[in-house]
A and B are shown apart, each in its own frame.
Chain A
Amino acid sequence: MGGTFAEKALGRSVGRTLRANEVVTVEPDFCMSHDNTGPISRTFKKIGVKNVWDPKRLVVILDHGVPAPSSDHAVNHKEAREFMREQGAPHFYDVTSGGGVCHQKFPEEGFALPGQIVIGSDSHTCTYGAFGTFATGIGRSEMAAAWATGQIWFKVPESMKITATGRLGRGVSAKDFILKVMGDVKSDGADYMSVEFHGDGIENMSISERMTLCNLGIEMGAKNAVCPPDAKVLDFIKGREKSADWEPIWADPDAVYAKEMTYDLYDIVPGVAKPHTVDNYAAISEVRGTKIDQAFIGTCTNGRLEDLHAAAEILRGKKIAVRTVVIPASWNIYREAMRDGTLDALLDAGCIVCNSGCGPCLGAHMGTLAPGEACISTANRNFKGRMGDKDSFIYLASPYAVAASAARGEITDPREAIGL
């Protein structure tokens, strides 16, 4: 009997063969934290250990409230900055043009490597599975404990195999595929599980699209989500690697799965997750015409160059009908989009382009909603109150659909906007 990705990746870390449901203690290859580094450092100090176990394994990227929208946020940033300096920890990404959203910067900087174990004090840490990394979100206390001990316990998860064949149609994106999957699996359908994406449909996808898929693993309850570490991944990480101790690992053909599902990407249509749950799926045709007050294009889910290109493809030469906030997921992406004219196209359409960071995704700043307002967003969560007021409404959709909807002020099938 062969192993699943999770069994093999955790097994590599402990040096023996593992099977689902065993409990193991592993040493993480990297520990990612963001603005919560300040509070974590306070908890760390309570433990009574002076130094973190390995300062080179800490990666801190400020993104949740940047630049600081309040003095409370500024204090968090200050604590993070001081802690990293005290610890002599080199991998600190401050509020500069070298930063961005943590889940974008982490792979850009070469920390997401095949076969490695990454823990992050953010639920969307599962994004790094796009690079064949076993990456999972944890809480603040666990991060403080991991810094002190260099160890964390895991139950080896059971696995779910999602196979995709074929290619997505024009105006349809990886987001539409994963919204459909989330609607089928439901928000707890993969609870505690490792979600593996297989098939030529995944091989056909870009790194950016695979990041969108893995990013939303947590919204099905998954411990981690992962795509095969193929040539596209190896090409991406070449020259960026921040560690030499990595190895492409993938599930064996005879691995045992708790659940298997298969999709033909030709069948996927533009979709949305309606308020207020991520699994409240509808084909866009079912909600077409719903009035919106704001559109948001960005985040670790869909703030990459391809996403901005998709939005610009729709909005070039048009004007937006509702306020539209665009936030590139990193400053590298910002610069590329500036150079290739994408930002000009979006600005010409009337969008505002904000500095790279999490923006309004978690309701902190830069585009929060008023009571009764509706927003169509490329982000990953549409929970009640997520973007500000508990009486506002969030529809999750692809960059194509958000841009097409921004142009009309109502939810719009992007295929109409590109003349299909």
Chain B
Amino acid sequence: MKIRGRVWKYGDDVNTDVIFPGKYTYTVKDRAEMAKYALEDLDADFNKNAGPGDIIVAGKNWGCGSSREQAAICLKERGIGAIIARSFARIHYRNCLNEGLPIIISSEAQDLANAGDEIEIDFEAGVITAAGRALKFPPYPEFVQGLVNDGGLIPHVKKSLGLA
């Protein structure tokens, strides 16, 4: 799979409260509606203008804090193509994979692209391309790859139980 999209760039320690505010966690139930509140308390520009295929490039510890899975769902439903970060907080890392939202750990991606740049990600080859420069990233661990291939945890579990 290859994707190409516009970069939204953020710093370190972006928490799930600003990705999807707590006041909506028990009132917004429709997955598509969750997309409306993505990054509402972090970046009004993103909240208004981010669109399908866009790529988030962040610093360390993206998605720290609450385990709320809506933080992954709202970005997935918004059509975000991938999140690239120096590191991910553990629960959010699992939530993104479980929702079938591609994530990439890269210590150098932040230096590679600026906000608004178009970048390309080739998941099979494990390469991010930006402004003519290419950056390799490691494949998912084997045990995660199965999840990713099936498009997330629920399809993966259905398949493993013979219910797909």
By a beta-carbon cutoff of 8 Å, the part of chain A in contact with chain B is 23, 35-36, 39, 43, 46-49, 64-65, 70, 72-73, 75-76, 121-123, 137-142, 144-145, 148-149, 153, 187-188, 191-192, 218-219, 221, 223, 277, 362-364, 368, 381, 383-386, 388, 390
Contact = CB atoms under 8 A, between A and B. Distances in A.
Contacts of B95: 139, 141-142
Contacts of B87: 188, 191
Interface of B: 13, 15, 17-18, 21-23, 25-27, 29, 40-42, 60-61, 64-69, 72, 87, 89-91, 94-95, 98-99, 141, 143, 152-154, 157-158, 160-161, 163
Given A49-B161, A385-B17, A141 B22 contact: no
Contacts of A123: 65-67, 91
29 contacts: A23-B141, A36-B25, A43-B154, A46-B154, A47-B158, A49-B163, A72-B29, A73-B27, A75-B29, A123-B66, A137-B67, A138-B67, A139-B67, A139-B91, A141-B69, A141-B95, A142-B95, A188-B60, A188-B61, A188-B64, A221-B90, A364-B22, A381-B17, A381-B66, A385-B17, A385-B18, A385-B21, A386-B17, A390-B18
A137 B91 contact: yes
A364 B152 CA distance: 30
Nearest to B160: A149
A137 B91 CA distance: 7
B147 to A, nearest CB: 9
A267 B154 CA distance: 49
B69 to A, nearest CB: 4
The 8 nearest A-B residue pairs measured at CB: A188-B61, A362-B22, A385-B41, A139-B69, A139-B95, A48-B163, A383-B17, A72-B27
Say whether chain A's binding surface is mostly helix, strand, loop, or mixed.
Answer: loop
Contacts of A43: 154
A40 to B, nearest CB: 9
Given A385-B17, A385-B21, A390-B41, A188 B69 contact: no
Contacts of B26: 35-36, 64-65, 70, 72-73, 76, 364
Contact of A47 (B21, B25, B143, B157): B157
Given A46-B154, A390-B41, 15 more contacts: A47-B158, A70-B26, A72-B27, A123-B91, A141-B98, A145-B154, A148-B157, A188-B61, A191-B90, A192-B90, A218-B91, A223-B90, A362-B66, A385-B17, A386-B17
Contacts of B13: 187-188, 277
A140 B69 contact: yes
Contacts of A187: 13, 61, 64
A149 B161 contact: yes
Given A386-B22, A390-B41, A221 B15 contact: no
A32 to B, nearest CB: 12
Say whether chain B's binding surface is mostly helix, strand, loop, or mixed.
Answer: loop
B92 to A, nearest CB: 8
Contact of A144 (B29, B60, B99, B154): B154
A329 B89 CA distance: 27
A406 to B, nearest CB: 23
Given A23-B143, A364-B23, A364-B26, A221 B67 contact: no
Contact of B154 (A47, A122, A385): A47
A219 B65 CA distance: 7
Contacts of B42: 384
Contacts of A385: 17-18, 21-22, 41
Nearest to A189: B61
A72 B30 CA distance: 12
A184 to B, nearest CB: 16
Given A64-B26, A386-B22, A141 B89 contact: no
A144 B90 CA distance: 18
Given A23-B141, A141-B153, A384 B27 contact: no
Contacts of B41: 384-385, 390
B87 to A, nearest CB: 6
A148 B67 contact: no
B23 A142 contact: no
A65 B22 CA distance: 11
Contacts of B99: 141
A313 B151 CA distance: 55
B153 A145 contact: yes
A199 to B, nearest CB: 26
Contacts of B67: 121-123, 137-139
A148 B153 CA distance: 12
Contacts of B90: 191-192, 221, 223
Contacts of B61: 187-188, 191, 221
